Amino acid sequence: MGWLEGETALVTGGGSGIGRAVVERFVEEGARVGVLELVQERVDELNDEFDDVHAMQGDVSEWEANERAVAETVAEFGQLDVFVGNAGIFDDAVHMADLTPEEIEAGFDELFSVNVLGYMLGAKAALPELLETGGRMIFTASYSSFYPATGGFLYTPSKHAVAGIVRQLAYELAPKVRVNGVGIGYSPTNLSGIDALGQESSSAVPEEIDERYPLPIPMPEEYAGYYVLLASERDSRASTGTIVEADSGLSIRGADEPAGGYDL
């Protein structure tokens, strides 16, 4: 019997990277999984590959998509026990000095609508069902939820906001719903860049990133076990408001940036 036997989860951004790895591991552990995914091709792949997955196309920054994802997951599987807020985009570690005011405004609107608003709307949509089951919320946080230098001027504040979402919701929803996060360090996940800034996706591990970490860079599937643990009612019952720092030891070494972090 798996750790999540008989449970139902909803994962946003579950078509690639960390999200896809979480979906696969949840199914392996006995769960049935709804997925809200932006890219239709990935939706089709998930539905073709898994019997216990119901994937839907939609934008996490839109309330209707989140509400529909919850409704369809419950209609398909009868309940909702776990919500995983995971969809996100990156800012290519861009520095403030390299952005115009107009680029800051456009980049903020695009990135925060996914990385922050998307988590808030997903949590709001899932809450009524999670109250019925005594469920759990799990959010994909980051090393950048605590420290600078690995993200940029837009991404790092967005991931600090995720830490605030975890702690505030844990406070608001206790004891009925537990809320935790996983602070990812780095993994080649093909994370999308900001369209408004002309940034593209990349799954390569930059050499300078690789050299910063005490441990080898994990693949997405190596993070999935943290989500299983936090999704398990039996095995993480004492945790809420917690973000597990799964950063390959970067926090004990630091990002090895020069003083000030940038040559102005």
User: pLDDT (tens digit, 0 to 9) for every residue of the chain, 264 residues total?
Assistant: 899 999 999 999 999 999 999 999 999 999 999 999 999 999 999 999 999 999 999 999 999 999 999 999 999 999 999 999 999 999 999 999 999 999 999 999 999 999 999 999 999 999 999 999 999 999 999 999 999 988 999 999 999 999 999 999 999 999 999 999 999 988 777 778 999 999 976 544 455 566 777 788 888 999 999 999 999 999 999 999 999 999 888 888 766 554 455 556
70 occurs within a structural domain: yes
263 occurs within a structural domain: no
Structural domain span for residue 60: 8-253
31 occurs within a structural domain: yes
| Cβ density class 84-95: b for 16+ within 10 Å, e for less | bbbbbbbbbbbe
Which residues face 54 on adjacent strands? 34
Both tokens of 140, joined, read: 């994909």
Q: Which of 78, 95, 77 is nearest to 149 (CA)?
A: 95
261 occurs within a structural domain: no
258 occurs within a structural domain: no
195 occurs within a structural domain: yes
Q: 30 with 1: CB under 8 angstroms?
A: yes
1 occurs within a structural domain: no
Q: How many helices (H) and strands (E) does the chain have?
A: 9, 7
Q: Which of 38, 97, 40 is nearest to 65 (CA)?
A: 38
13 occurs within a structural domain: yes
* Residues recognised as catalytic: 155
Burial of 239: CB neighbours in 10 Å, binned 0-12, 13-18, 19+: middle
Domain count, the chain: 1
- Domain with residue 150: its CATH number is 3.40.50.720
Both tokens of 219, joined, read: 């693949």
pTM for the complete prediction? 0.93
